[in-house]
Structure 1
Amino acid sequence: MLEKEIELQLVMAVKKMGGRAVKFISPGFDGMPDRLVLLPGGRCGFVEVKAPGKKMRALQQVRHEMLRALGFKAYVLDAREQIEEIINDIYTA
């Protein structure tokens, strides 16, 4: 499965829950996750989408660590089977 297909499934699953999975672009601040997941009740998390078996670059790992240190949830999604688990974790936080 391609990264683009996994990303589209994430967007649709979040929308079905009444939320949004917006494309996150941060000019001048490379390595940030692909999507900002916004769920009802003010819950949010960052999701880096990868093709199955692909790993994050070193800078992406640094950004995930930074986000987590600030108290945000940050995930790596590389299989559609992870989507429900990630959404539920964000929602129940």
Structure 2
Amino acid sequence: MREKDVETYLKTNIEKRNGWCVKFESPGLSGVPDRICMVPGGRLFFVEVKRPGQKLRKLQQKRKEQFESLGQHVHTVSNKEEVDEFMRRVMDGD
């Protein structure tokens, strides 16, 4: 499965549940997560999408830690099963 397929699956599932999943690009700041996912109830999550078996690069890990130090949620998904698990946690408010 390609990274693009995982990203499309994530976006589709967020939108099916009345959420919004937008591409996150930050000129001048590399290593930010791929997507910002907003779901009903005012919850916001950052999601890094990887190919199956791929891990966060060093800079991506640093950005994840920076975001989390500010109380933000950063998730990594690399296949449909991980997206499904993420959706269960997001919709249940975990």
TM superposition score normalised by structure 2: 0.93
Query: Please, which moves more after superposition, 25-34 or 80-89?
Result: 80-89
Of all paired residues, the percent bearing the same amino acid is 42
Question: Structure 2: which amino acid aligns with 1:32?
Answer: V
Residue 23 of structure 1 pairs with residue 23 of structure 2: yes
Q: Structure 2, unaligned stretches of length 5 or more?
A: none
Query: Mapping of 1:37-56 within 5 angstroms?
Result: 37-56=37-56
Structure 1 runs of 4+ off > 4 angstroms?
none
What value does the CA root-mean-square deviation take over the aligned residues?
1.0
Paired with 2:21 and 2:88, the residues of 1 have a C-alpha distance of 14
In 1: Cα distance, 2:85 partner to 2:72 partner: 16
Task: List alignment gaps of at least 5 residues for structure 1.
Answer: none
Aligned length in residues: 93
TM-score (norm. length: structure 1): 0.94
CA offsets per residue over residues 12-37 of structure 1, 9 Å max, x none? 00000000110000011110000000
Query: Could you tell me how far 1:56 is from its partner in structure 2?
Result: 1.1
Q: How far does residue 9 in structure 1 lie from its aligned partner after superposition?
A: 0.3
CA contact (8 A) 1:73 1:90 kept: no
